[in-house]
């Protein structure tokens, strides 16, 4: 169980750092959060794998929700917004000219 936990921490950290390095589909705040938590996950995995000499340690399975949410956020923001047709553009212009928007 311990090795799985350390491996998942390291994998989550690497994925979050990769997401932080990509500029597409994210604002600076999301990239900063990915970088901070990625370093935290990798740091804790490194500590548990190489510096930890036994005893008690914290297992935060809830922490694995965060990388999933950040990945979903990354791909949700990357999906292109649909382009408006000429009719939709005309309707939007009409609404703006009459003050309905």
| HEC assignment per residue over 4-22 | HHHHHHHHHHHHHHHHHHC
In sequence order, which ranges of the chain are alpha helices (DSSP H)? 2-21, 28-46, 65-78, 86-98
pTM, two decimal places: 0.69
CA distance to 60, 74, 82, per residue, from 65 (Å) = 10, 14, 30
What confidence tens digit (pLDDT) does each residue in 1-42 have?
A: 889 999 999 999 999 999 999 877 788 888 999 999 999 999
What burial class does residue 51 get, using C-beta atoms within 10 Å of its C-beta: 0-12 exposed, 13-18 middle, 19+ buried? exposed
Does residue 101 register a pLDDT over 70? no
Tens-place pLDDT, residues 53-85: 888 887 878 888 988 888 888 888 776 777 889
């Amino acid at each position: 169980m311990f090795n799985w936990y350390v491996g998942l921490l390291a994998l989550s950290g690497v994925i979050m750092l990769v997401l932080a390095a990509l500029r597409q589909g994210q604002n600076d705040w999301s990239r900063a959060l990915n970088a901070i938590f990625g370093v935290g996950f990798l740091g804790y995995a490194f500590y548990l794998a190489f510096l930890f000499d036994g005893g008690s340690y914290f297992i935060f399975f809830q922490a694995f929700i965060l990388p999933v949410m950040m990945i979903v956020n990354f791909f949700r923001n990357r999906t292109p917004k649909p382009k408006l047709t000429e009719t939709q553009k005309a309707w939007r212009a009409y609404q703006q000219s009459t003050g309905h928007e």
